[in-house]
Structure 1
Amino acid sequence: MLMNSTKMMFLMILTTSTIMVYSSSSFLMTWMSMEINLISFLPIVTKSKKLKDQSMKYFIIQSLSSLTMLLSVIMNLKIKTPINFENLLMMSLMMKMGLIPFHLWIISFMEKLSWTNCFLMNTIQKMTPTLIIPQMINFKITLMPMILSLLVAPIMMLKTNSMKKIISYSSIYNSPWMIYSMFISKKFFLMFFSIYMILNFMLMSKLKFYNIMFLNQITEKNLLTKMNLSINLISMSGMPPMLGFFPKWMILNKMNELSYFISMSMLVSTFISTFIYIKILSSSMMNQTTKKKFFKTKNLNELEIMINFTGLTYFLMLKPN
C-alpha cells in the first residue's frame, strides 16, 4: 500500500475512531465512532478498480450490521417485545466481525485485499466489536456463537490452499479468545491483542515479501523460510512453547473460573487448529524443489524465529499460585 498523505490521513482517522469507541461512555457515541471507522476504512481498501465491488460488499455488510445494532437498542428502549434485544445485538456484532455463520463475506473479501489491508482487517477492525460485546451482552448469550466459531473455523481451514483464506479462518478462530479476554479484564485483552498483532505482522510481512498466495509456493523457499512460516502459524494456534501460547494459557486459566464448557471448547479448538497447521505445513517442509533458493533475509528469519520462542521465557518467569 502506497502511504501517501491521503491514506495516512484516513489511517489516522481509523485509529482515532477506534480510540473513541474505547473512551466513549454512551452508545450513541460508540455507534457514531463505528460509522466513522467504516467511512475511513473504505478509501484505504479501494485502491484499484478490481476492489470496487469488494468495497461495496464491505459497505453493505457493515451498514446492515450497524442498522441492526441500532434497531436492537431502539427496540429495547421504546418497544415492549418478546424478542430479546441482546440476541439481535449479538447477531449484528457477529456480522460485523465475520464470525460463523456470518463468515462467508469476510473470506471472499480478504482474498482480494493486499497483505497490508488484511493486517488491518485482522487487528484494528476487530477491536471495536470486541469491546462492545462484553459491555452490552450477557455472558450466557455468547456461549453458542463463540463455541461455533471456535470449533468450525479450524476444520474449514483443512480444505483450502489459499494463504489469505487460512489467515481469515485463523482470525475467526482467534476472535472468541479476544472477546473472552475482554470479559476477564482489559489487561488480558491488551496482552493477547498485542501478541496477536505482532504474530500477524511478522507472518504477513513475510508472505508479502515472498509474494506467497498459496501453500504450494512455500515449497520453493529455503528451509529457514519454511521453518519461519511454520513456526509463525503454529504460534498463532497456541502451541507451547511459542509466543502465542503464553496469552492463551493465561486466558484459559481464568476461563475455568467462568465456564468449564468454554475452556474445554478452547482447548479442543486449539488441538484441532494445531493438528491442521502441522498437517498442512508438513507437506511443504518435506517436499523439496530443484529451483535455486536465495538467502537474502537469513538474519531476519532467525530474528523472527527467536521472537516466537520468547514464549518459553515468559513461561519460565511465571510463578505458581
Structure 2
Amino acid sequence: MKTPLSMLLITSMLGISSNSWLFLWLMIEINTPMFSFMLSSTKENPKNPLNYFIIQSLTSLTMFIILISTMTKYPTTLSNKTLNISMHMIAFIKMGLMPTHNWMMNMMKSMKKTSLSTLMTVQKILPLKITSMITTSQIIQSILLMNLILSSITIMQTTKTNHLLLMSSIHNISWTTLNIQSLTKISTLFFTIYSLMTISLISNLSLTNKTSLNLPNKNSNINLIISIMAISGLPPMWGFMSKFMMIQSMYLSNTPTLTLLTLLNSSILMLSGYLKLCYNMMMTNTKMKTKIPKNSPWLLISNLISPSMIILI
C-alpha cells in the first residue's frame, strides 16, 4: 500500500506545482489508477475500485475534451463562462460535493482507515487545483453556499460516521473552494488544517470501531470526543482558528456581507450538530469510560496544542 500512497502524494504535489492544464490532467490520469489499485489491495468492497475508476475516468475524459476544444479557440486561458462552470462541475464531481455526492457516500460505507483518510484529504488536492485555475462565477458561488447550508443541516440529523465525514468534507471543501483563487495562502492553510483534523478523527473512529456515534461503546475515549470538537469549530481548537483566519481575511478583502453571513450561520449549524453528537455519545452510556488509548496519545496532544501553534504562525 505504501507505493500507491507515495505515488498519490507525488502526483498531487507535481500537479499543484504546475500551471499547465495538460500536465495537471496527466497527473490526474496517473493518480486515478493508483488510488483504484490502493483500494483493491486493501481487500475492501470489490466494487469500490471499479466505481471510483469509472467516475474519475469519465470526468477526466470530459475535462480533456474541454481542454482540447478550448485551447483551439482560446490558446491562453479558459475565459468562456460556460466552460468555467463545466470545469468547476468536473472538480465538484471528483471531490464528491453536492448534488453529486452519492457515489462517494456509497464507497465510504466499506472503506478502511487508510483508504478513507486518503479519499478525504489527498484526493481533494488535484480537483482543488482545477478550481484555483479558473474564475469562480456567481453561479458557482451560489452552489458552494448551498453546499455549506445543506451539509450543516444534514450533520444535525445524522449519527452515522460515514455521513459525518462526508458532510464535514463537503462543508470544509466548500470553504476552501470559495476562496482558493482570491486567498490562496489562507485557503491552503485551511485545507491543511482540515486534513489533519480529518485524519485524527478517522484514526479515533477506527480505534473505537464505531459506525454510529449515538450507540454505547465501552471503548469510547476522550480522544474521539476532542477530535469531534476540533473539527466542529469549537473555540479555541483547530476548526475555530482556521475559520476565524478565513473570515478575517475575507472581511479585509471586501467579501459581500451575504456571503460572510452564510459562512457564519452554516458554521454555527455545523457546530450545533457536532455538539449534539458529542452529547449523544456521552449520554447514551453514562458509564462510558473516557480513556486515552495508549497507542495514540499523539492524536490528543496534536488536538490540544494546535491552537497555540496557529497563533504563533
TM-score by length of 2: 0.87
1:141 and 1:290 map into 2 onto residues whose CA distance is 50
Gap regions ≥5 residues in structure 2? 75-79
- Note the 1:146-225 alignment, pairs <5 A: 146-217=144-215, 219-221=217-219, 225=221
Kindly tell me: are residues 113 and 229 of structure 1, through their superposed partners in 2, closer, same or farther at Cα, counting changes over 3 Å?
A: same
1:218 and 1:181 map into 2 onto residues whose CA distance is 40
1:285 and 1:13 map into 2 onto residues whose CA distance is 41
Is 1:73 the counterpart of 2:67? The answer is: yes
Report the residue type matching 1:266 in the other structure.
L
Indicate if the aligned counterparts of 1:38 and 1:62 stay in contact, CA closer than 8 A: yes
2:242 aligned residue (241, 247, 268): 247
1:111 and 1:73 map into 2 onto residues whose CA distance is 34
- Deviation at residue 255 of structure 1 after TM alignment: 1.8
Indicate the residue corresponding to 1:3 in structure 2.
none
Is 1:310 the counterpart of 2:308? The answer is: no
Indicate the residue corresponding to 1:276 in structure 2.
273
2:292 and 2:72 map into 1 onto residues whose CA distance is 63
Secondary structure (helix, strand or coil) at the match of 2:196 reads: helix
Indicate the residue corresponding to 1:297 in structure 2.
293
Report the residue type matching 1:250 in the other structure.
M
Show CA shifts across 1:86-107 (max 9, x none).
Answer: 1211111111111011111111
1:160 and 1:58 map into 2 onto residues whose CA distance is 25
Kindly tell me: are residues 11 and 313 of structure 1, through their superposed partners in 2, closer, same or farther at Cα, counting changes over 3 Å?
A: closer
Secondary structure (helix, strand or coil) at the match of 2:172 reads: helix
2:65 and 2:147 map into 1 onto residues whose CA distance is 25
Kindly tell me: are residues 129 and 316 of structure 1, through their superposed partners in 2, closer, same or farther at Cα, counting changes over 3 Å?
A: closer
Secondary structure (helix, strand or coil) at the match of 2:97 reads: coil
2:19 aligned residue (9, 15, 25): 25
- Deviation at residue 138 of structure 1 after TM alignment: 2.9
1:316 and 1:12 map into 2 onto residues whose CA distance is 31
- Deviation at residue 174 of structure 1 after TM alignment: 0.8
Indicate the residue corresponding to 2:226 in structure 1.
231
Is 1:54 the counterpart of 2:51? The answer is: no
1:272 and 1:120 map into 2 onto residues whose CA distance is 27
Show CA shifts across 1:163-202 (max 9, x none).
Answer: 1221111111110122234223442133222222221222
Q: Judge which range, 42-51 or 242-251, deviates more.
A: 42-51
Report the residue type matching 1:36 in the other structure.
I
2:307 and 2:68 map into 1 onto residues whose CA distance is 49
1:84 and 1:219 map into 2 onto residues whose CA distance is 50
2:303 and 2:179 map into 1 onto residues whose CA distance is 21
Is 1:8 the counterpart of 2:2? The answer is: yes
Indicate if the aligned counterparts of 1:245 and 1:311 stay in contact, CA closer than 8 A: no
Show CA shifts across 1:15-73 (max 9, x none).
Answer: 11101111222111110100101011111011366522122111111112112222333
TM-score by length of 1: 0.85
Indicate if the aligned counterparts of 2:155 and 2:164 stay in contact, CA closer than 8 A: yes
Report the residue type matching 1:40 in the other structure.
M
Kindly tell me: are residues 83 and 241 of structure 1, through their superposed partners in 2, closer, same or farther at Cα, counting changes over 3 Å?
A: closer
The CA RMSD over aligned residues, in Å, is 2.7
- Determine what percentage of the aligned residue pairs are the same residue: 27
1:113 and 1:75 map into 2 onto residues whose CA distance is 37
- Deviation at residue 278 of structure 1 after TM alignment: 1.3
Secondary structure (helix, strand or coil) at the match of 2:46 reads: helix
- Deviation at residue 79 of structure 1 after TM alignment: 6.7
Indicate the residue corresponding to 1:259 in structure 2.
256
1:134 and 1:299 map into 2 onto residues whose CA distance is 39
2:43 and 2:192 map into 1 onto residues whose CA distance is 33
Higher helix share: 1
Kindly tell me: are residues 151 and 93 of structure 1, through their superposed partners in 2, closer, same or farther at Cα, counting changes over 3 Å?
A: same
Report the residue type matching 2:33 in the other structure.
I
